[in-house]
Amino acid sequence: MGSQNYIGRFAPTPSGPLHFGSIVAALASYLDARHNGGKWLLRIDDIDTPRVRAGSDRKIIDTLEILGLEWDGDIVYQSRRMELYEQALAQLSDGDMLYRCWCPRRITKGRPYPGTCRARTETAGKPYALRVKIPDSPILFTDVIQGRLTGRLNELTGDFILRRSDGLIAYNLAVVIDDAAQHITHVVRGADLLDTTFNQVYLQSTLNLPTPVYAHHPLAVDGRGRKISKQDGATDVLAGVSPETVLLRALRFLGQTPDAKLAQAGKRDILDWAVADWKIELVT
């Protein structure tokens, strides 16, 4: 694969500092792009405004720079792309693919949405979400790390929300539109987003957009086996730790085997080795 064919990306939510799990995702996507002679883009996924913390985007940018992870082109912010999302909603609405939903979020409680509002008459004056109608047929895609996968949206999510009742655009729609607009060919990210990929592949087909190559790596967990996350107060990855140590830890987590001499090397030498020797087949 040459540089003309591969465009990858890292798209963090600015809800806090980058923790170790975030860096695993950043490094995996960076190395896969650079090893294949491709571009690596940085996008700030700040569409879910209640989760956004002021200044976090700057902290994310600074952390990536300290680690030596250099991106191509300008940084894109989702919050500045509302017109694109509204155009996609209009396209789906014209195709009779959307309906209004007045159900409270608690109706699902982790279960698929039962379609309560599909045939419901409008309730004037009440805020509503927009849901997309899902198919009965299974969604299929092949993940570079996880293998061939099949899922039925009626068992996973049911008709899912594209615009929330508070007016915010849902992640699934925004990420699909942004990946297409940026010509993303490969998405390397954590396995916590694996289930949402079925929704995204469906939206891509419905909106006549290309489906990237997906690779979902295992999640970094804490001592109790829980996903490391900002919601649980995960600390800044560089707190009291050198960039070199962070990079070597993340490489080992991703199944790579850094040369012993790299323990004394600088971050540039570590990254040069990692790009040249990257083997995604070792990520398990």
pLDDT at 233 over 60: no
Whether residues 241 and 153 fall in one domain: no
Range of the domain at 96: 82-163
Whether residues 74 and 87 fall in one domain: no
Whether residues 215 and 92 fall in one domain: no
> Tell me, what's the pLDDT at 1?
40
Q: What is the pLDDT of residues 130-170, one digit of tens each?
A: 999 999 999 999 999 999 999 999 999 999 999 999 999 99
Q: Does residue 171 lie in a domain region?
A: no
Whether residues 75 and 189 fall in one domain: yes
Whether residues 56 and 185 fall in one domain: yes
Whether residues 188 and 75 fall in one domain: yes
State how far the alpha carbon of 227 is from the alpha carbons of 143, 162, 280, in Å: 21, 26, 21
User: End of a domain among 105, 132, 163?
Assistant: 163
Q: Does residue 22 lie in a domain region?
A: yes
The whole-angstrom distance between residue 153's C-alpha and the CA centroid of its chain comes to 19
Whether residues 211 and 257 fall in one domain: yes
Whether residues 73 and 15 fall in one domain: yes
What type of residue sits at position 48?
Answer: D
Residue showing tokens 């957009």? 209
Whether residues 73 and 86 fall in one domain: no
User: In what side-by-side order are the strands of the sheet with 139-143?
Assistant: 147-151, 139-143, 213-217, 186-190
- Label residue 108 by pLDDT band (50, 70, 90): confident
Whether residues 88 and 65 fall in one domain: no
Q: Which residues are CB-contacts of 194 (< 8 A; sequence separation ≥ 6)?
A: 143, 146, 149, 216
Q: Between 144 and 221, name the one with better pLDDT.
A: 144
Q: Does residue 173 lie in a domain region?
A: no
Q: Does residue 170 lie in a domain region?
A: no
For residue 41, give the 3-state DSSP assignment.
strand
CATH number of the structural domain spanning residue 141: 3.90.800.10
Whether residues 153 and 203 fall in one domain: no
Residue 225 DSSP class: S
> Tell me, what's the pLDDT at 143?
98
CATH number of the structural domain spanning residue 255: 3.40.50.620
Say how many domains are in the chain.
2
Whether residues 75 and 86 fall in one domain: no
Instruction: Name the average pLDDT for the chain.
Output: 92
Q: Does residue 169 lie in a domain region?
A: no
pLDDT at 29 over 90: yes
Rounded to two decimals, what is the model's pTM? 0.92
- Label residue 226 by pLDDT band (50, 70, 90): low
